[in-house]
Amino acid sequence: MTKKEIETLVIHNSNEQKEFIQSLTPPLYQTSTFYFDNAQQGEHRFAGNEAGFIYSRLSNPTVELFEEKMAVLEGGEKGLAFSSGMGAVSAVLFSLVNQKDHIICSRGVYGCTFGFLQLLDEKFGISHSFCDLNNQSAFEKAIKGNTKVIYMESPINPTMELIDLEMVTSIAKRNKIPVVVDNTFSSPYLQKPLDHGCNIVVHSATKYICGHGDVIGGVVVGTEEYIKQLSKTMRKDIGAVMSPFDSWLLLRGIKTLAVRMDRHCENAEYIAHSLVEHARIEKVYYPTLPDFEQASLARKQMKKGGGLISFTIKGANKAKTQQFMNQLKLIKIAVSLGDPETLIQHPASMTHSVVSEKERLKMGITDTMVRLSVGLENREDILEDIYQALNQQV
Ligand SMILES: *Cc1c(COP(=O)(O)O)cnc(C)c1O
């Protein structure tokens, strides 16, 4: 196939699977193990002298199809699937550091990533520094002799702060430090970190990749050499493998990634612009709003603004913010994101409750902030639900 655009790549296989008796949808190999024709074949497969499957913790054909698909979409050489986003994040971080090494992170990271960084520090003396990566001199100062990873999210949850991927990778390259990007919030449809020079991409496939709220999964994309190593050590021996059925569901979900993302973004953009005008709304955080400080960076490295919006309610406090959430009728109160349903959560008491109040406030996460994962419903219906809940408040 000649090079195709992402709207085509999400639907068609990179190498049409002739061996699957021309089945239009990928087959599900729901098996734990694979038998050998004879003992010698088993010996050769274990020795790596013959290609073929052995056992589904090592590899599985359906899981491999999902991995290949993600590698194509992210523009990387190879992918590796995990049982959850955290399975992927922890495997990548673990793979790049040794005792007493140092990790540099974006100012905000996913709550459980934060927890894993603390565990690395407590158990193995692997320290980390949170850094404003857009501040070039602060970033350069944070780099130490034992810094082995730059780890970041962009946009950062829930404030939507963006990081200039090209600026960070240029500094990291000079210092020969690999850059890992958690691309969960954007999906490869909106942002492709490898195109900006980053080395490794991780995803919680649970979110936009799945798109239907029915799978927990994770994936890593990187060079063939790196992925081979990650598979042999971190996945095979720690064992956070993705099931064939989950891979099959993800392959199904991915086919509609482009159309879903377009709708998520259109809805979110419309709702963000509308909320700015509402008297009860204090501040709206959305990357492509004209007065968002990093709107030009958003346009530079993202195709669209994404499906997530955070906002704060004027004159509210924690109780009033919770009351607003309870008054919503259509919008469900839930963490996670990227589902067809619009979801709302309260970062201070939910996703960021593990972060100390002082750190939270430094990140700009107040008690009156909520985060909306805008779904695929009619945008006026979503907005009307928010308005009726706001208007009930005294
Ligand atoms: C959800 C999420 C994760 C963790 O993924 P799981 O699939 O829940 O393990 C990691 N990073 C980000 C940005 C997420 O939103």
Q: Where are the beta strands (DSSP E) in the chain?
A: 78-82, 102-106, 127-131, 147-153, 179-182, 200-204, 218-222, 281-285, 308-313, 332-333, 343-345, 369-373
CA geometry: angle 394, 333, 368, nearest 5 deg: 45
Per-residue pLDDT, 8: 92
pLDDT of residue 17: 57
Q: For 52-77, what is each residue's pLDDT tens digit?
A: 999 999 999 999 999 999 999 999 99
Long-range Cβ pairs for the range 277-280 (8 Å, 24+) = 278/387, 278/390, 279/314, 280/313, 280/314, 280/315, 280/390, 280/391, 280/393
* Residue-level pLDDT at 322: 97
Ordered structural domains, the chain, with CATH:
10-254 (3.40.640.10), 258-391 (3.90.1150.10)
Name the pLDDT band for 383 (thresholds 50, 70, 90): very high
Pocket probe mutation, ligand 1, options 107, 112, 201, max atoms within 8 Å of Cβ: 112
Tens digits of per-residue pLDDT, 20-45? 778 888 999 999 999 999 999 999 99
Q: From the alpha carbon of 206, which atom of ligand 1 is closest?
A: 7
Whether the per-residue pLDDT at 354 is higher than 90: the answer is no
B/e letters for 303-341, b = 16+ CB within 10 Å, e = fewer, are bbbbbbbbbbbeebeeeebbbbbebbebbeeeebbbbeb
- Dihedral angle sign, alpha carbons of residues 297, 137, 107, 175: positive
Q: How confident is the prediction for the chain on average, in pLDDT?
A: 95
> What phi and psi, each to the nearest 5 degrees, are found at residue 329?
-110, -45
Pocket probe for ligand 1: among 84, 105, 184, the residue whose CB has the most ligand atoms within 8 Å is 184
Atom 6 in ligand 1: which residue has the minimum CA distance? 85
**Structure confidence at residue 364 (pLDDT):** 87
**Which residue's structure tokens are 């009728």?**
329
Could you tell me the pLDDT band of residue 394, with boundaries at 50, 70 and 90?
A: low
Q: From 185, 183, 218, 230, select the one nearest 75 (Cα to Cα).
A: 183
Tens-place pLDDT, residues 308-352: 999 999 999 999 999 999 999 999 999 999 999 999 999 999 999
Question: From the CA of 204, how far away is ligand 1's center (Å)?
Answer: 4
- The Å distance, Cα 337 to ligand 1 centre, comes to 9
- Which numbered atom of ligand 1 lies nearest the CA of 218? 7
Residue nearest (by alpha carbon) to ligand 1 atom 8: 85
235-289 pLDDT tens trace? 999 999 999 999 999 999 999 999 999 999 999 999 999 999 999 999 999 999 9
Task: Give the distance (Å) from ligand 1 centre to CA of residue 258.
Answer: 20
Residue 217 CA, ligand 1 centroid: distance in Å = 9
Residue 154 has what DSSP assignment?
S
With beta carbons less than 8 A apart as the criterion, state whether 97 and 148 touch: yes
**pLDDT tier at 355, thresholds 50, 70, 90:** confident
What's the pLDDT tens digit per position in 105-122?
999 899 899 999 999 999
Overall average pLDDT of the 213-239 stretch: 97
Ligand 1 centroid to Cα of residue 74, in Å, is 18
**Which residues surround ligand 1 with Cβ inside 6 Å?**
84-86, 89, 110, 112, 153, 157, 182, 184-185, 204, 206-207, 216, 218
Interval between CA 87 and ligand 1 midpoint (Å): 9
- What is the SS3 assignment for 60? coil
Higher model confidence: residue 274 or residue 291?
274
- For atom 7 of ligand 1, the residue with the nearest CA is 85
171 has a pLDDT exceeding 90: yes
User: Residue 1: its pLDDT value, please?
Assistant: 58
Nearest to 117 by CA among 54, 198, 180, 44: 180
Strands 78-82 and 102-106, sheet pairing: unpaired
The answer on pLDDT for 18 being more than 70 is: no
Cβ neighbours of residue 200 closer than 8 Å, sequence gap 6 or more: 92, 178, 179, 180, 181, 220, 221, 222, 226
Q: What is the pLDDT of residue 363?
A: 83
Q: Is the peptide bond before 155 cis (omega within 30 degrees of 0)?
A: yes
pLDDT of residue 349: 96
With 80 as the cut, is the pLDDT of residue 14 above it? no
| Ligand 1 centroid, distance to 173 Cα (angstroms) | 27
Residue with the two structure tokens 């949170």: 130
Element (H, E) at 340: none
